[in-house]
Structure 1
């Protein structure tokens, strides 16, 4: 088959869904299919760009359209799509990727125009705001508009296949009247088997990888870890790796104020990230547990069989109960010592781009 993966941005290392799309495209090509990438709202380019990008060692053709310039370049996009002649257009949907306020009112009509009747597949990486009981009236009203835009998008594109990554999103889409199946998120950080393992017997190494979300129980965890250190004479080190965002400073301050050590590594190549994950004791996750399976950070920890301690703020979806993923423990203040004593092992996870590509193809070939 010929498949074009459509996302918002394709700047390597700067957009998680773009990186995911590139690796998925490489896996599809390696399985004998033709695949290309189309970025429709790319803030990292100033003019339309024709490129060849690399998914590991696999070359992938890419077309990148600058932010809010799709209307100006729609004929070029149509021509490029006609030349490639895809059997499928696969929309990798993150609502804030296509508009800075998450309100892409013109997107569905523009996508209809460029597709010219071709078959659509949609992967919903995210849905709308205001899903949780705890969220504000403002976010819930904002989310209603986003929900309307998603319904409009599905009506315009009439996708033959709809996927998402979490059971929660699957249920929410089904509540709208659309059949969706789960396609698991693979890690953008492959496990490097040749990594030298370090003896951690005298320390507990916690690791934070990627974006930190607001409201997490970091102060409580720091107090627990400090008490554990005093009692057991073991170092509890917190390592930050990747682009952790504006909350990192607060986390560092809380950890250091508790008399604990931090290691701030910043952005690193995938091989170094893999080595750090393999030599850590526990992954610390601030994404709400109900949507953990959409998190690239969680996918990376799971791929490296790293047990995960979730310290997110309370976030309970309205009217939906979701099981805690295997290998994840929801943190309760005062429970750190008990958790360390019975720290679970993450389930073995061999899901990579190849496996996800095969599952995606199996669904597409039905149509």
Structure 2
């Protein structure tokens, strides 16, 4: 069996979904001998040696005709087509008509080839803000997601919160929808050092926009965290935010910029805690939270939620300073251990095995 995956981006572009798809393909090949090839939905993407040994080609234009031509060239009779869907990755306003229309036409021509969709996102979540375009485009985005859910032979997603919407939008076609929380794109540790043996470093890791959000809205919280944990240095990893402070309440901040994956992993392995501002109902979708958990850090989020979601509980798997201002070492270690343990059930090897089993089952059911 061969897999042809459609992705919004691949390296060298910085894209969490593309990184996820590439690491999954590598592990499927290593563990089960499954070969993969990629169709990239961004015409500006340029192939690099980092993608080897996987054949990959970008669409020339974002049109249904160009996509169909790529599919007819890349998808073999024994292939499974896998779409990694995040709407804003395929269209500026998160309305990728060209993608959906192209897939619908192609499926009519080749109905015997299995088609799976991994819904990393469904549609924009800030539709309730009248000043945003998503407020007006949400019905269109949901309509396109509905068409994809009905078109797919099977669907997967990274959070249980998406299961009911996918069922509803598929109009009953999708009943069994596996959830696979995101694994770390910067490596994992088989053994982690206890917090008592780590440097008092606080990690801020992510893209420019996420770090700007931290520095603009969460500086008072950062100051509280640094004081409560006796942080000695803050390490900023990733593209520069443009507004990074030199220090936070007297704690020096080092802007490390982009680093190789193995170097990031080594930095995380020695750090005490990692900070992020992410919707607590969707933490299982966060590659940053996965990276912190996989390396045994104390994960810190700016807020929590009342109910447990995807097996994650506020105060058990991550610290929320506004609700628990102080934290002793024993509790900090308990949270870091719980997050690391939670991660092991869907680490790269475990998730690859589940993915392979699911691919096998869906193909046998065809």
TM-score by length of structure 1 reads 0.80
> 2:39 & 2:136 partners in 1: Cα distance?
31
> 1:114 & 1:265 partners in 2: Cα distance?
45
| Aligned residue in 1 for 2:167 | 174
Deviations 1:33-91 (A, max 9, x none): 2322221224324xxx6x77547xxx22222224525634643541332xx33431011
After superposition, the Cα gap between the structure-2 partners of 1:99 and 1:129, relative to the gap in structure 1 and judged at 3 Å, is: same
Q: CA deviation at 1:131?
A: 6.0
Deviates more, 1:203-212 or 1:97-106: 203-212
> 2:328 & 2:124 partners in 1: Cα distance?
32
Q: CA deviation at 1:340?
A: 5.7
| Aligned residue in 1 for 2:93 | 101
After superposition, the Cα gap between the structure-2 partners of 1:363 and 1:337, relative to the gap in structure 1 and judged at 3 Å, is: same
**1:285 aligns to 2:276 (yes or no):** yes
Native 8 Å contact 1:290 1:324 kept in 2: no
Native 8 Å contact 1:9 1:18 kept in 2: yes
**1:78 aligns to 2:78 (yes or no):** no
RMSD, aligned α-carbons: 3.3
After superposition, the Cα gap between the structure-2 partners of 1:186 and 1:227, relative to the gap in structure 1 and judged at 3 Å, is: closer
After superposition, the Cα gap between the structure-2 partners of 1:207 and 1:152, relative to the gap in structure 1 and judged at 3 Å, is: same
| Aligned residue in 1 for 2:20 | 20
| Aligned residue in 1 for 2:354 | 359
Q: How many residues align?
A: 340
Q: CA deviation at 1:193?
A: 6.6
> Which one has the bigger strand percentage?
1
> 2:282 & 2:101 partners in 1: Cα distance?
29
Residue in structure 1 matching 2:184, options 182, 187, 206: 187
After superposition, the Cα gap between the structure-2 partners of 1:226 and 1:188, relative to the gap in structure 1 and judged at 3 Å, is: closer
5 Å-filtered alignment, 1:25-36, equals 25-30=25-30, 31-36=32-37
Aligned to 2:291, the other structure's residue is in SS state: helix
Aligned to 1:354, the other structure's residue is in SS state: helix
| Aligned residue in 1 for 2:312 | 325
After superposition, the Cα gap between the structure-2 partners of 1:334 and 1:111, relative to the gap in structure 1 and judged at 3 Å, is: closer
Q: CA deviation at 1:190?
A: 1.4
> 2:326 & 2:213 partners in 1: Cα distance?
22
Residue in structure 2 matching 1:124, options 110, 119, 125: 119
> Which one has the bigger helix percentage?
2
5 Å-filtered alignment, 1:275-354, equals 275-311=266-302, 322=309, 325=312, 328-333=317-322, 335-338=324-327, 342-343=331-332, 344-345=335-336, 346-348=339-341, 349-350=343-344, 351-354=346-349
Aligned to 1:183, the other structure's residue is in SS state: coil
**1:148 aligns to 2:143 (yes or no):** yes
Aligned to 2:54, the other structure's residue is in SS state: strand
Structure 1, unmatched stretches of 5+, are none
Aligned to 1:342, the other structure's residue is in SS state: helix
Aligned to 2:6, the other structure's residue is in SS state: strand
